[in-house]
Amino acid sequence: MKGTPVAATSAAPVTVACTFCNKPTAEVKKMIAGPGVFICNECVGLCMEILASQPETTASESEGTASEPAEMPKPPSWEERVSDDDLLATLPKIAAASASVEQQLGIWVRQARSRGITWTRIGAAMDMTRQSAWERFSGEE
Ligand SMILES: [Zn+2]
């Protein structure tokens, strides 16, 4: 058993964690927010290393060997080195990122509702019906 509990601040209703590495805000120096996602200073640093290690190409002028469209978050260097254990370890991280984004979405929808924005407009904004938006976010049966 370790000594005193570290997390004394129980006020935070939402745990913010880096969408990329899943580290909570308390474990990193800076957390930068995007629409429903977060990235920590450590992941930004890693991104900068990756960018610095790859020569820049302009998308319009180079063909074939140009940087591929980043449709899937699967940098080849990671894919090649990853072991089965690492692969499996990634699964709960993706699930955690998904849950975090869903949580953020819920917070934003509740904010929209608190402004009196209708379920119809919220649904339309997300390309779903009023009914679907209500069922997903209202928390009511
Ligand atoms: Zn991170």
Ligand 1 centre to CA of 30 (Å) is 9
- Between 2-6, 14-18, 51-55, 79-83, the lowest mean confidence (pLDDT) is in 2-6
Name the pLDDT band for 13 (thresholds 50, 70, 90).
low
CA 118 – ligand 1 centroid, Å: 35
Tell me which of 26-40, 56-70, 77-91, 101-115 is least confident: 56-70
Whether 36 and 88 map to the same domain: the answer is no
Task: Tell me which residue range forms the domain holding 39.
Answer: 14-54
pLDDT bracket for residue 79 (50, 70, 90)? low
Q: Which residues surround ligand 1, an ion (CB under 5 A)?
A: 18, 20-21, 40, 43
- Report the domain count for the chain: 2
Choose among 102, 137, 104: nearest CA to 14. 104
Q: Is residue 1 part of a domain?
A: no
Asked which of 54, 69, 103 is the last residue of a domain, the reply is 54
Do the domain assignments include residue 9?
Answer: no
104 occurs within a structural domain: yes
Distance 68 CA to ligand 1 centre (A): 23
Residues 141 and 90 placed together within one structural domain of the fold: yes
